[in-house]
Structure 1
Amino acid sequence: MLKVSLAVTTACLSLQISSPAFADTDLSDLLDMPLESLSETKVVSATRTALSLADIPAAVHVISSKEIQRSGARSVADVLTLAPGLHVAKYSNYDWGIAARSPNETLSNTMLVMVDGRSVFNGMFSGVDWDLIPVSLDSIERIEVVMGPVGTIWGGNAVNAVVNIITYDAEDAPRNKVSASVGNYHYKEARIHHGGQVTDNLYMSGYAELVEHMPWTSDEGRVQPIQHFRVQTERFGVRGDYQKNDREVSFQLGGIRSREDYNWGSYQPHFLTPGVDAPDYVNYETEMLAEEYFAGVKFLQELGDSKQWEQQFWLTYSNSDSSDRNAYFTRIDSETRYSDNNVWGGQLTVGFDYRLIDEYFRPYEKNEIYTSPYVRVADEPGFVNQSAAAYFNYTYPLTATTSLMLGNRWQYFTMVSETFSQPQVRVMQDVGDNQRVWAGWGRAVVTPARQGRTTDFHENAYGSNLAFCDQGTPPNCIPVDYLQIIENHGNEDLPVQNVDTYELGYRFWEGNRFQFDANLFYSEEDGITAWQLINSQRVFLPENSSPGTVGTIIDVFQYQHIAPLSSQTYGGELSMKWQPSSAVQVNASYSYREIKADCHGAICSSTDLPMRSYENEPVHLANALIMWDITSQWWVTNVLNYVHASNPDDVLQDDEYYAWPEVLTWDMVIGWQASEHMPLVTLSAESLFNDQVNEFPESYRGFNNGTQYWLEVDWQWK
Structure 2
Amino acid sequence: MGYGWIGLLLLIANLTMHGTTVFANSSSGVDLTEMSIEEVLQLEVTSAAKKPQKLGNAAAAIFALTADDIRRSGATSIPEALRMVPGLQVARIDSNKWAITSRGFNGRFANKLLVLIDGRSVYTPSFSGVYWEVQDTLLADLDRIEVIRGPGAALWGANAVNGIINIITKHARDTQGGLLTAGAGTEERGTGSLRYGTALSDTAFLRIYAKYFNRDGSVDTEGRSTPDAWETIRSGVRLDWQATNDDDLTIQGDVYYGEAKQTLSLPSFTPPYRERRTTGIDWVGGNLLGRWQHRFTDLGNLTLQAYYDRTSRDESGVMQETRDTFDLDMQHQFLWGNRQDIIWGLGYRFTDDTFNRSNLIRVQPRSRSLHLFSAFVQDDITLIEDRLKLIVGSKFEHNDHTGFEVQPTVRLLWTPHKRHTVWAALSRAVRTPSRGDDDALTDQLILPPKTLQNPGPLPVLVRFLGNRDFVSEKLLAYELGYRMRPIDRLSLDIAAFYNTYDDLRTVEPGLPFTDLTSTPPVIISPLTLDNKLQGETYGVELALEWQLLDRWRINLAYTFLQLDFDLDGDSQSTTSGNDAGFSPNHQVSLRSSIELPGKLTLDTWLRYVDTLSALDIDRYVTLDIRLAWQPLESIELALVGQNLVESHHSEFRQEIFPFQTEIERGVYGAISWRF
Name whichever of 449-458 and 419-428 sits farther off.
449-458
Matched, 1:442 2:427: yes
In 2, Cα distance between the equivalents of 1:625 and 1:55? Answer: 24
Q: TM-score of the superposition, structure 1-length normalised?
A: 0.83
Aligned to 2:643: 687
Of the three residues 29, 35, 42, the one matched with 2:44 is 42
Task: Specify whether residues 191 and 156 from structure 1 end up closer, same or farther in structure 2 by C-alpha distance, changes over 3 A only.
Answer: same
Cα shift at 1:30: 12
Q: How do 1:106-121 and structure 2 match up within 5 A?
A: 106-121=108-123
On the 8 A contact 2:500/2:537 being kept in 1, the answer is: yes
Task: Kindly provide the amino acid, as one letter, of the partner of residue 309 in structure 1.
Answer: L
In 1, Cα distance between the equivalents of 2:606 and 2:76? Answer: 16
Task: Kindly provide the amino acid, as one letter, of the partner of residue 167 in structure 2.
Answer: I
In 1, Cα distance between the equivalents of 2:497 and 2:472? Answer: 22
In 1, Cα distance between the equivalents of 2:274 and 2:580? Answer: 35
Listed as ranges, the gaps of 5+ residues in structure 2 are: 1-30
Task: Specify whether residues 711 and 309 from structure 1 end up closer, same or farther in structure 2 by C-alpha distance, changes over 3 A only.
Answer: same
Task: Compute the RMSD of aligned alpha carbons.
Answer: 3.0
Task: Kindly provide the amino acid, as one letter, of the partner of residue 593 in structure 2.
Answer: M
SS in 2 for 1:588: strand
Q: How do 1:11-30 and structure 2 match up within 5 A?
A: none
Structure of larger gyration radius = 1
Aligned to 1:160: 162
Report the count of equivalent residues.
Answer: 636
Aligned to 2:4: none
Task: Specify whether residues 698 and 381 from structure 1 end up closer, same or farther in structure 2 by C-alpha distance, changes over 3 A only.
Answer: closer
Aligned to 1:314: 307
On the 8 A contact 2:305/2:330 being kept in 1, the answer is: yes
Aligned to 1:410: 396
Name whichever of 689-698 and 575-584 sits farther off.
689-698
Q: How do 1:581-596 and structure 2 match up within 5 A?
A: 581-596=549-564
Cα shift at 1:348: 0.3
Task: Kindly provide the amino acid, as one letter, of the partner of residue 442 in structure 1.
Answer: S
On the 8 A contact 1:695/1:702 being kept in 2, the answer is: no
Task: Specify whether residues 252 and 35 from structure 1 end up closer, same or farther in structure 2 by C-alpha distance, changes over 3 A only.
Answer: farther
Task: Kindly provide the amino acid, as one letter, of the partner of residue 249 in structure 1.
Answer: L
Q: Deviations over 1:288-326 (max 9, x none)?
A: 211331001000011023710000001000111114442
In 2, Cα distance between the equivalents of 1:108 and 1:30? Answer: 32
Task: Specify whether residues 123 and 173 from structure 1 end up closer, same or farther in structure 2 by C-alpha distance, changes over 3 A only.
Answer: farther
SS in 1 for 2:39: coil
Of the three residues 320, 328, 339, the one matched with 2:333 is 339
On the 8 A contact 1:661/1:696 being kept in 2, the answer is: no
Aligned to 2:229: 230
Q: Deviations over 1:351-378 (max 9, x none)?
A: 00111001111135xxxx3xxxxx2212
Cα shift at 1:191: 0.5
Q: Deviations over 1:512-566 (max 9, x none)?
A: 633211111111111211212213345679xx99xxxxxx562422111111101
Aligned to 1:257: 257
Cα shift at 1:448: 2.5
In 2, Cα distance between the equivalents of 1:363 and 1:240? Answer: 40
In 2, Cα distance between the equivalents of 1:106 and 1:688? Answer: 25
Cα shift at 1:485: 2.7
Cα shift at 1:344: 5.5
Name whichever of 240-249 and 167-176 sits farther off.
167-176
Aligned to 2:200: 198
Cα shift at 1:680: 0.7
Matched, 1:246 2:203: no
In 1, Cα distance between the equivalents of 2:230 and 2:106? Answer: 24
Task: Specify whether residues 174 and 639 from structure 1 end up closer, same or farther in structure 2 by C-alpha distance, changes over 3 A only.
Answer: farther
Of the three residues 369, 389, 397, the one matched with 2:374 is 389
In 1, Cα distance between the equivalents of 2:265 and 2:562? Answer: 41
Task: Specify whether residues 284 and 446 from structure 1 end up closer, same or farther in structure 2 by C-alpha distance, changes over 3 A only.
Answer: closer
Matched, 1:514 2:490: yes
Q: How do 1:154-553 and structure 2 match up within 5 A?
A: 154-173=156-175, 175-185=177-187, 187-218=189-220, 220=222, 224=225, 230-243=229-242, 244-261=244-261, 287-305=280-298, 307-322=300-315, 323-343=317-337, 345-364=339-358, 369=359, 375-400=360-385, 401-416=387-402, 418-459=403-444, 469=450, 484-509=460-485, 513-537=489-513
On the 8 A contact 1:57/1:427 being kept in 2, the answer is: yes
On the 8 A contact 1:460/1:483 being kept in 2, the answer is: no
Task: Specify whether residues 173 and 382 from structure 1 end up closer, same or farther in structure 2 by C-alpha distance, changes over 3 A only.
Answer: same
Cα shift at 1:705: 1.0
Of the three residues 101, 106, 114, the one matched with 1:99 is 101
Task: Specify whether residues 286 and 108 from structure 1 end up closer, same or farther in structure 2 by C-alpha distance, changes over 3 A only.
Answer: closer
In 2, Cα distance between the equivalents of 1:515 and 1:357? Answer: 44
Aligned to 1:709: 667
Task: Kindly provide the amino acid, as one letter, of the partner of residue 622 in structure 2.
Answer: T
Of the three residues 602, 608, 611, the one matched with 2:570 is 602
On the 8 A contact 1:139/1:174 being kept in 2, the answer is: no
Cα shift at 1:697: 6.0
Listed as ranges, the gaps of 5+ residues in structure 1 are: 1-28, 271-279, 370-374, 546-551, 649-657
Task: Specify whether residues 469 and 53 from structure 1 end up closer, same or farther in structure 2 by C-alpha distance, changes over 3 A only.
Answer: closer
In 2, Cα distance between the equivalents of 1:470 and 1:430? Answer: 66
Task: Specify whether residues 317 and 639 from structure 1 end up closer, same or farther in structure 2 by C-alpha distance, changes over 3 A only.
Answer: same
Cα shift at 1:446: 1.4
In 2, Cα distance between the equivalents of 1:281 and 1:520? Answer: 44
Q: Deviations over 1:117-147 (max 9, x none)?
A: 1111122012111111032211101111111
In 2, Cα distance between the equivalents of 1:535 and 1:613? Answer: 25
Aligned to 2:7: none
SS in 1 for 2:571: helix
On the 8 A contact 1:255/1:293 being kept in 2, the answer is: yes
SS in 1 for 2:422: strand
SS in 1 for 2:59: coil
In 2, Cα distance between the equivalents of 1:608 and 1:358? Answer: 34
Matched, 1:628 2:594: yes
